[in-house]
């Protein structure tokens, strides 16, 4: 099997896993459900992802990679944690607006909520979720570092944690679940995040 065939098979398995999480939820989803959704035997699924936590970790890793690529394409802002240069307010505004729009995708919100629910009772899944947020936070720390280069690393980490919390909470409260999405509310979220990034 070539690497490209293996990558395609892994992508198909991850697509199926996302579909199961969004439509069926994690409480009713076992490895056999993920395998069935992908049209493969459970042994085939476990060849790539031996445990449900491995599968969840891969789903989250791919979700972050896709998000970073989309945000880069839309905003043309370098999102790598070590990106050089100063982050202009116009750049952070474009980026935060695009991120808020991305957090409006109900299927994505549902998938993350199901993973959160799974992580509440599964230590391995919780570890995968912590790794996801550590990576997410590292990218946000890079933005804060470029927006406020005078901050200490501890202050940068704190500001990034606040921004991640703000946007992750907003994903739920702005969704159809809580229904708190308004244009003025969105602008307040963006202004708050910009203050954390730029200190103004």
Phi and psi torsions of 182, nearest 5°: -140, 155
- Residue of 66, 173, 160, 62 whose CA lies nearest to 113: 173
- pLDDT 10s digits, 137-178: 999 999 999 999 999 999 999 999 999 999 999 988 988 788
Residues 65 and 7 sit within 8 Å (Cβ to Cβ): no
- pLDDT 10s digits, 24-39: 877 667 888 899 999 9
For residue 1, pLDDT beyond 50 = no
* Residue-wise DSSP of 40-61: S-HHHHHHH-SSHHHHHHHHHH
| Domains contained in the chain, CATH given | 1-50 (1.10.10.60), 56-198 (1.10.357)
**Residues in Cβ contact with 112 at an 8 Å cutoff, skipping those fewer than 6 apart:** 63, 168, 171
- Residue of 144, 131, 118 whose CA lies nearest to 34: 118
What pLDDT is recorded for position 11?
Answer: 92
Residue 97 and residue 81: Cα distance in Å, rounded? 19
Residues 138 and 114 sit within 8 Å (Cβ to Cβ): no
**Residues in Cβ contact with 33 at an 8 Å cutoff, skipping those fewer than 6 apart:** 20, 24
Q: Could you tell me where the DSSP H helices lie in 39-152?
A: 42-48, 52-75, 89-102, 106-119, 123-147
- pLDDT 10s digits, 63-98: 989 999 999 998 999 999 999 999 999 999 999 999
Give the global pTM. 0.87
Residue 47 and residue 61: Cα distance in Å, rounded? 18
């Amino acid at each position: 099997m070539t690497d490209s065939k293996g990558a395609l098979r892994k992508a198909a398995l991850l697509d199926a896993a996302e579909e199961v999480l969004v439509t069926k939820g994690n409480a009713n989803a076992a490895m056999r459900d993920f395998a069935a959704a992908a049209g493969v035997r459970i042994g085939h699924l476990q060849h790539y992802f031996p445990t449900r936590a491995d599968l969840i970790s891969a789903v989250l890793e791919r979700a972050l990679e896709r998000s970073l690529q989309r945000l880069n394409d839309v905003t043309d802002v370098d999102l790598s944690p070590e990106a050089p240069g100063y982050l202009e307010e116009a750049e952070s505004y474009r980026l935060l607006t695009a991120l808020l729009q991305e957090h409006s995708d109900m299927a994505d919100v549902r998938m993350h909520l199901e993973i959160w629910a799974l992580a509440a009772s599964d230590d391995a899944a919780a570890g995968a979720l912590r790794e996801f947020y550590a990576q997410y936070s590292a990218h946000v720390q890079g933005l804060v570092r470029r927006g406020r280069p005078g901050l200490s690393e501890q202050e940068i980490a704190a500001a990034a944690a606040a921004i991640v919390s703000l946007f992750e909470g907003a994903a739920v409260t702005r969704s159809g679940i809580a229904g708190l999405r308004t244009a003025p509310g969105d602008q307040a979220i963006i202004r708050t995040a910009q203050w954390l990034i730029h200190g103004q």
